[in-house]
Amino acid sequence: MDLPIDHFRLLGVSPSVDSEAILRALQLRLDRCPDQGFTHEALTQRAELLRLSADLLTDPPRRQAYEAALLELGRDHPGETAGIDLPSSKEVAGLMLLLEANSPHEAFHLASQGLQPLHAPALGSAREADLALLLALACRAAAAEEQEQRRYEAAASLLHDGMQLLQRMGKLPEECRNLQKDLDVLLPYRILDLVSRDLGDQASHQEGLRLLDNFVRQRGGLEGTAPSPAPGGLDQSEFENFFQQIRKFLTVQEQVDLFLRWQQAGSVDAGFLGGLALAAVGFSRRKPERLQEAKQHLESLDLPDFDPLPMLGCLDLLLGDVGHAQERFLSSTDAALKDCLNSHPGDELAAFCEYCRSWLRRDVLPGYRDVDAEVVDLEAWFADRDVQAYVERLERSGARASSIGKTFSESPLSQPFSLPSLDPDGILPLSLGEPEVAQPAFDSNAKERGKGIQWRERLAGLPRLQRPTRPVLIGSVVFVAFVLAVLGVSFGQRHRSSTSISTTTDQPQAPAPPVATLQEEVTKPEVPVSTDVEPLVVDQPSQAQLSGLLQAWLDNKAVVLAGGKSDVLPELAGDLLVQRVNQERAEDEALGETQKIEASISSVEVVSQTPIRIALKAVVAYQDQLFDSAGKVVEQTSQINLPLTYILGRDQDRWRVIDFR
């Protein structure tokens, strides 16, 4: 066999040592004989190979010729390793020395080859036993090297292959158990390795989820109630730390699926976390039906020594059920909730909102790969049309109308909900105890927000004023007053409707605010024409090139939304974004409307970059106008600066915009 090692490494000496040092090293190696259980024959052959190397290196003419050969090999074949030709009878001894020279991967590979059917030694022979032992030792050493480099999945693969070979041979059951123990201890690190990889490697991510699911089940849920020791060698405290690291690499929906599955297997903690994950899905995705599901799920849990009223009150509040929310909040014994209520004397609504916002930011939204825990915008939530429509459906169903009306009319909250006087601009003052915000902050999940105007998420990446629609009338006065108090926006102005709101209180209604008249254009804007754009194909684009690509995307998108055509849009953006732009233009065209958008890149900052993916933070100066079929302006937006994150992907040697948030 060709042993990939030279005589200097085999003896463990430097090429510059003299003969006397070589002889001392030889004696030291002979004295330190391996004691793992190799046969006497293998140990004798090891000693013989060491002496042969020492004889060569202590003979000046032979050593000089050998060193010349090594130099020539290095010059003619750079990067390759010099080897030693050995007879097959000394194979085990050579591999022992290779392993001692800190080359466990090579030793494992060659030992595996020696045990394959074409080269397998006779069953029961000393060579078979020595090779099997050598394979086990090399496997564990190679896996340890991979772990030191944080390549945990590669280490697990080595251990798995070594176990399979030994089990097939029926040899060394004790060594098989040692390999299995190493594999069990490696499991948490292996899971972390797999789930933390780039999202493009979905096969590894899914394998990590499968291993995590099995791991938690084997240890008896998140609580670790299994009677036998759980794999991984983690106590409960260590497991909880591990799980906190894992969560940030999982999406919110992945966690919902896992938690509910573990709850069905008997894990109460998983059931509780599943309820919070459902709430995170509902709030972050503007899906109130998931909040309703979260509330029902949490109400069904048996949680001894835990007060669920504060979180259930928050869910009621987000679903517009203010009466039940107040009842839960005031009935709770939670100290943090009481402190929050006491810090807002005389304004319970502001206290409820502040506590709900804090609960979302602290307990609900953190810990997910795809949820921004820093953005907790209650104004955007209550301004969302889907949220309003869902609450209206709940009230129309009669599921809670009577109880809400009674609770509200009899509660102290009826006074804070009375409509305050309008200011000179026809705007209701904010009642959350926070300063007014001059301009809305952009959030890709927010559909509507602002003071006196409506915002919605743009399908193609930028917000614009909401089009006039049928007024959304919420059936409950409680919810109407609550939304008005939270948003600080006149209901009549917000919907541009003359529809009146009848109340059940004796207080006089506030006068309807004047309907703002938008500036009209007498001339229909010209349809812009797109220009040719060179695709971005360089491997590492500069900041100016990246800014140019984003600006080209914004310019050509504006062309399409203004009623023009852009043949280069598919060269600048992914198929999904192009489809969204075309869809929005089709909606405008059906209404006889066009848009005039002015958007320019103010700044660009590279957040992360790989050969196929670039994440950018950009600030976009944006303003727009919406024209009807007669060319009159029906909506417009003053210039605002929008902070956006763009994701660029490389496909067919060119960079495109594939996502934003």
Predicted confidence at residue 554, as pLDDT, reads 93
Residue 382 lies in a domain: yes
Residue 224 lies in a domain: no
Residue 500 lies in a domain: no
User: Are both 172 and 35 inside the same structural domain?
Assistant: yes
Last residue of a domain, one of 436, 464, 495: 495
Condensed to tens digits (0 to 9), the pLDDT of residues 160-186 reads: 999 888 888 777 888 888 898 888 888
Q: How far apart are the C-alpha atoms of 546 and 524, rounded to whole Å?
A: 34
User: Are both 549 and 456 inside the same structural domain?
Assistant: no
Residue 529 lies in a domain: no
For residue 323 the two structure tokens come to 């009466």
The angle at the Cα of 38, spanning 32 to 40, to the nearest 5 degrees, equals: 85
User: Are both 84 and 148 inside the same structural domain?
Assistant: yes
> Which run of H or E residues covers position 317?
helix 309-318
Q: What value does the mean pLDDT take over residues 47-72?
A: 92
Amino acid at 600: S
**Of 175, 141, 171, 173, which Cα lies nearest the Cα of 158?**
141
User: Are both 476 and 578 inside the same structural domain?
Assistant: no
Please name the residues in contact with 211: beta carbons below 8 A apart, sequence gap of 6 or more. Answer: 187, 190, 191, 194
Condensed to tens digits (0 to 9), the pLDDT of residues 385-436 reads: 899 889 888 877 754 433 333 333 333 333 333 323 323 333 223 233 333 3
Residue 469 lies in a domain: yes
Q: What value does the mean pLDDT take over residues 636-641?
A: 84
User: Are both 309 and 421 inside the same structural domain?
Assistant: yes
User: Are both 286 and 408 inside the same structural domain?
Assistant: yes
User: Are both 51 and 157 inside the same structural domain?
Assistant: yes
Inform me whether the pLDDT recorded for 121 exceeds 80: no
CATH number assigned to the domain comprising residue 627: 3.10.450.240
Residue 139 lies in a domain: yes
- Count how many residues are written for the chain: 661
Last residue of a domain, one of 141, 171, 194: 194
Q: How far apart are the C-alpha atoms of 280 and 252, rounded to whole Å?
A: 7
Q: What value does the mean pLDDT take over residues 586-615?
A: 90
User: Are both 173 and 85 inside the same structural domain?
Assistant: yes
Residue 222 lies in a domain: no
Q: How far apart are the C-alpha atoms of 30 and 32, rounded to whole Å?
A: 5
User: Are both 286 and 421 inside the same structural domain?
Assistant: yes
Cβ atoms within 10 Å of 203's Cβ, excluding its own: 10
Q: Is 653 left (phi over 0), alpha (psi -120 to 50) or beta?
A: left
As for how many domains the chain has, the answer is: 3
Among 60-64, 85-89, 142-146, the minimum mean pLDDT is found in: 85-89
Of the chain, the percentage scoring pLDDT greater than 70 comes to: 78
Please name the residues in contact with 382: beta carbons below 8 A apart, sequence gap of 6 or more. Answer: 320, 388, 482, 483, 486, 487
Q: Which domain holds residue 628?
A: 543-660
Q: How far apart are the C-alpha atoms of 416 and 396, rounded to whole Å?
A: 25
User: Are both 469 and 550 inside the same structural domain?
Assistant: no
User: Are both 466 and 410 inside the same structural domain?
Assistant: yes
Last residue of a domain, one of 178, 194, 210: 194
Q: Please say whether the beta carbons of 103 and 5 come within 8 A.
A: yes
Please name the residues in contact with 504: beta carbons below 8 A apart, sequence gap of 6 or more. Answer: 405, 409, 477
Residue 212 lies in a domain: no
User: Are both 187 and 94 inside the same structural domain?
Assistant: yes
